[in-house]
Amino acid sequence: MLQAPASAQLIEAFANTLDVDAGTDALASPAGLATWLLDQGLFDRARRVTAEDHALALRLRAGLREVLGTHVGDLPDPALVAAADDALGMLPVLVTVVGGADTPGPGLPPVRRALAAVALAWARLIATGEAARLKRCAEHTCAEVFWDVSKNRSRRWCSMSVCGNRAKARTHALRQAAAAERSHQGRS
């Protein structure tokens, strides 16, 4: 099984702080964001998160979730993408000539530094082409972000046994209902 790189694991964890199925949001408050950043090792100790930094994180997450939920032929919501791009613009990074090391920009306050680490993880996935393996579940009641381990990167659901089965059962029921309707109309 193809193991997700650390950058993908961080983006997946960040995107999945919003749990559509359970109706929970780990980043619902600035304190929630502070706890999540600490739990991810992006803070060395507890920190206070301002309302502005909290809003920045939410814009970034919304844009990432939007892009990860876009399926072939679909276009992401341009307003969500633009808001996320604006958020990324507030999280400068430093790339060096020797070694190409990339780090959050110098002088950033701790919360912005931690969010810049999330931005760097996304940049690494884009640069390597691995972002295509991170997807949002096509089952609208779930929408969990997952790492696609399929050889041809065609997986649509986080779990075939749960979300895939729900979608297929719903499609089957719709087909059955349509066939019954056609049958009923034929008798009229």
- The domain over range 6-156 is classified in CATH as 1.10.3470: no
The answer, yes or no, to whether residue 169 has pLDDT greater than 70, is no
pLDDT of residue 1: 53
pLDDT of residue 151: 83
Q: Which residue has the higher pLDDT, 159 or 114?
A: 114
Burial class (CB in 10 A: 0-12, 13-18, 19+), 154: exposed
Q: What's this model's pTM, rounded to 2 decimal places?
A: 0.84
* pLDDT tens per residue across span 46-104: 999 999 999 999 999 999 999 998 776 788 999 999 999 999 999 998 888 876 668 88
CA nearest to 76, candidates 11, 12, 135, 149: 135
The average confidence (pLDDT) of the chain is: 87
Write down the residue that tokens 């702080």 correspond to: 17
Mean of the pLDDT values across residues 173-187?
Answer: 65
